[in-house]
Structure formats: structure tokens, C-alpha cells
Amino acid sequence: MSERPWIEVAADLEDLAGRAARLFSEAARAAVAARGRFAVALSGGSTPRPVYERLAGPHHREEVPWARIEFFWADERCVPPEAPDSNYRMARETLLDRVAVDPERVHRIRGEAEPAAAARECAGELRRALDAAGEEPPHLDLALLGLGPDGHTASLFPDSAAIESDRLAEAVPAALVLPPVVDRVTLTPVALNAARAVAFLVSGGSKAAAVRAALEGPRDPARCPAQAIAPTRGRARWLLDAEAAAGLEGLDRPAAKGP
Ligand code: 6PG
């Protein structure tokens, strides 16, 4: 049974990026200490970019057990891996090329493949790499997610059949998505809700209405797909900056500037 989300408000994007990088680093060290590896799903978009850059900076570069991390993606745009819109490319340039990852543990979604085939392959890879047996879904340790102004998260866009899917990954047609308007492949709520932790990273006033709808609006995951994300093993964590949090009425605790 999932619990109410934990909401944390940072002063601005820089503060949010610092907090998110610490969250990643602590989760990675704890998972490696407990289970010998850390399985994370990364998101694309603009908000995680400064988070990945911080993680590649001197402090976290030293303390994170990079070679023990299994990297997955919460979603991918159906473009080749070298295309400017590729989520894999963004993570590679900002993070993966700058730290000592194990290339065999980088499980990108094949954006260049036919979308339904890429989704099947993504689901199979998640199961294989995380040793999921039988009906049990694989357990990521952490899924880093974003939020779109329309309430989408990963590539779970409003009215997408992927929201209700019983598979781990699905293709989403370009007709449903916000720019870049290309087909997508996304993890589904089945995969994301099996994660040990999920963290939404949301910055900017253009997201304030979506944050409010996701956290305080009437429940309607078809219209606001972020509401479909409620990890069965714990609490979703929402890391917002002050502008993104501006529409919220019932905050857990007052806005605080980070250390
Ligand atoms: C993508 C995503 C997407 C993203 C949100 C927020 O491929 O675009 O993974 O779900 O997280 O659209 O994006 P921003 O951080 O750019 O606002």
C-alpha cells in the first residue's frame, strides 16, 4: 500500500539539482551496500541535465560506486542514439562519458528500432538484468522522473493506453506527445511502481498547475498520468523548486533553502 508523497521544496533549479544529486548518491551507496548493485532509471528533458552534471563533478564522481550501477531509462524518444533529442545521448554527454561506468550495465532503450519491438526489448532487458523471476516485476532501486505541463511523466501522456498497460514497457505514438513529436517508448506504471523509490524532479512556474493537479487535484490518471505513479513499496518523493511548488496549498512542510 503506497503512502502519501513526500514533498520537498528547493529554492531554485540549482538547489534542486544539488538535492537530487545527493539523493542519487545516497541511494546508490545504500543499494550497493545492501544488494551489491544500484538499478536506476533516468529521465530525459531539461530538469535532470544539471543533476547529471553535478553527479559527474568531483565530489560525487568520487563517492558514487559507478561501476556497480545498472542504468535504465524511464523513457526514450524514437530517434537514433546520436540524435540531439535522444535521452540516452543527453545522459551520455552529461554523465556516462564522464564517470567510470560499466558499459555492460548501460541498458539504453533502442530509439532507432521499431517502437513496439524496442518496448518489448526494453521490458526483457529490465527483467534479465534485474533477475526478475516469474510474475514478479523487476525492482529498480530508483526511478528519476520529470513532469510535463500536461501532467505527463516518463512518456506516459494523457489518454495513452500505456497508463493502464500490464506490461513493463510500451510504445507511445507521436500523436499523443508534446514536442519533440516523435514516437516514444516508456516504462509503464507496472515497472515504475515496482521501484524501491521514485523521485519527481520538477522546476519552473510552467509546471505549477501540473504539480497542483498531480498532488492535489481529483484523481484521474488518464488526464494526469503522474497520478498513476505510486510505488507499492514506499513513498514517491517530489523535489520541486519554489516556482513549481507555487500552486500547492497543503505542503508537508514550509519551503526551505538547501544547505
Ligand atoms: C522526456 C521525458 C519527459 C520529461 C518531462 C519533463 O523524454 O522528455 O523523460 O517525461 O521528464 O517532459 O521535462 P523537462 O524536465 O524538460 O521539463
Cα dihedral angle (143, 146, 147, 149), rounded to 10 degrees? -160
Contact by Cβ (8 Å): 11, 259: no
Ligand 1 atom closest to the CA of 43, numbered from 1? 9
pTM for this model (two decimals): 0.94
CA of 21 to the centre of ligand 1 (A): 17
CA of 133 to the centre of ligand 1 (A): 31
pLDDT at 253 over 80: no
Contact by Cβ (8 Å): 157, 176: yes
pLDDT at 206 over 90: yes
H or E segment and range at residue 150: none
Q: Please state, in angstroms and rounded to a whole number, the distance separating the CA atoms of residues 258 and 76.
A: 31
CA of 195 to the centre of ligand 1 (A): 19
How is residue 136 annotated by DSSP? P
Q: Read off the pLDDT of each residue in 101-129 and give the average, rounded to a whole number.
A: 98
Q: CB within 6 Å of ligand 1 — which residues?
A: 43-47, 74-75, 77, 87, 146-148, 152-154
Name 166's Cβ contacts closer than 8 Å, sequence gap at least 6.
190
Name 161's Cβ contacts closer than 8 Å, sequence gap at least 6.
170
Report which protein residue has its CA nearest ligand 1's atom 14: 45
pLDDT at 18 over 90: yes
Q: Read off the pLDDT of each residue in 103-131 and give the average, rounded to a whole number.
A: 97
Out of 42, 43, 75, give the residue to mutate to test ligand 1, the one with the largest number of ligand atoms within 8 Å of its CB. 43
Mind listing the pLDDT tens digit for each residue in 136-180? 899 999 999 999 999 999 999 999 999 999 999 999 999 998 999
Q: Please state, in angstroms and rounded to a whole number, the distance separating the CA atoms of residues 95 and 213.
A: 32
Mind listing the pLDDT tens digit for each residue in 47-75? 999 999 999 999 999 999 999 999 999 99
Q: Please state, in angstroms and rounded to a whole number, the distance separating the CA atoms of residues 221 and 164.
A: 9
Classify residue 227 by burial, with Cβ atoms within 10 Å: 0-12, 13-18, 19+.
Answer: buried
CA of 154 to the centre of ligand 1 (A): 7
Ligand 1 atom closest to the CA of 154, numbered from 1? 10
Which residue in this structure is represented by grid cell 516514444?
A: 184
Out of 53, 73, 147, give the residue to mutate to test ligand 1, the one with the largest number of ligand atoms within 8 Å of its CB. 147
pLDDT at 257 over 50: no
What pLDDT does 1 receive? Answer: 46
Query: Percentages helix, strand, coil for the chain, rounded to the nearest 5?
Result: 35, 15, 45
Report which protein residue has its CA nearest ligand 1's atom 12: 148
Ligand 1 atom closest to the CA of 48, numbered from 1? 15
Q: Please state, in angstroms and rounded to a whole number, the distance separating the CA atoms of residues 249 and 115.
A: 40
Sign for the CA dihedral angle at 134, 136, 140, 146 comes to positive
CA of 44 to the centre of ligand 1 (A): 5
Report angle CA 109, 227, 20 to the nearest 5 degrees. 60
CA of 96 to the centre of ligand 1 (A): 19
